Amino acid sequence: MPISFEEKNEFAFKVALKFAEKENLLPLSELWRLHANLSTRDLQTAGDILSPVIKKSQSSTTIVYHDLEAALCNAGFSAKAVRYVIAILYSDNDIKFADLIDKLVLPDELNEMLEHLRKSPNLGATDY
């Protein structure tokens, strides 16, 4: 069965992402943005959506991970995209957001992403 043009492009893209990650050619946050097919506008929107949740967390209101996930899912982000969005926003060094995330019980996949980010010599924030 022949491989379609789209499948070839997707394969080439995945290989290029793996190479860029291995060689530290791009910040992890940018690799994640590309991998999850998120635009800079998506990230700006997500930041705006999460802003009230972050403010709530600074008051006496208890916030759980599902509050973040629900806010983003209600705005149309998939569960997979939510993990990437949170990891990318975390990498942007917003102290209030990072403090909130560090206090939450997170899904294993997101914990692994953030642990990888903390150990990475090539953090870098996205330019959105």
**pLDDT beyond 50 at 128:** no
Q: What is the largest CA-CA distance in the chain?
A: 59
Residue 12's pLDDT is 85
Tokens linked to 51: 């802003």
pLDDT tens track for 64-86: 999 999 999 999 999 889 999 99
Tokens 């102290």 label which residue?
95
Contact, 128 vs 27, CB < 8 A?
A: no
With a cut of 90, say whether residue 126 has pLDDT above it: no
Q: What is the distance between the alpha carbons of residues 67 and 76, in angstroms, rounded to a whole number?
A: 15
Q: What DSSP string describes 92-114? A: TT-HHHHHHHHHS---HHHHHHH
Q: Where are the domains of the chain?
A: 5-119
Torsional sign, CA 127, 77, 56, 58: negative
Mean pLDDT, rounded, of the chain:
85
Distance CA 73, CA 128 (A): 21
Report the alpha-carbon distance of residue 87 to residue 81 in Å, rounded. Answer: 10
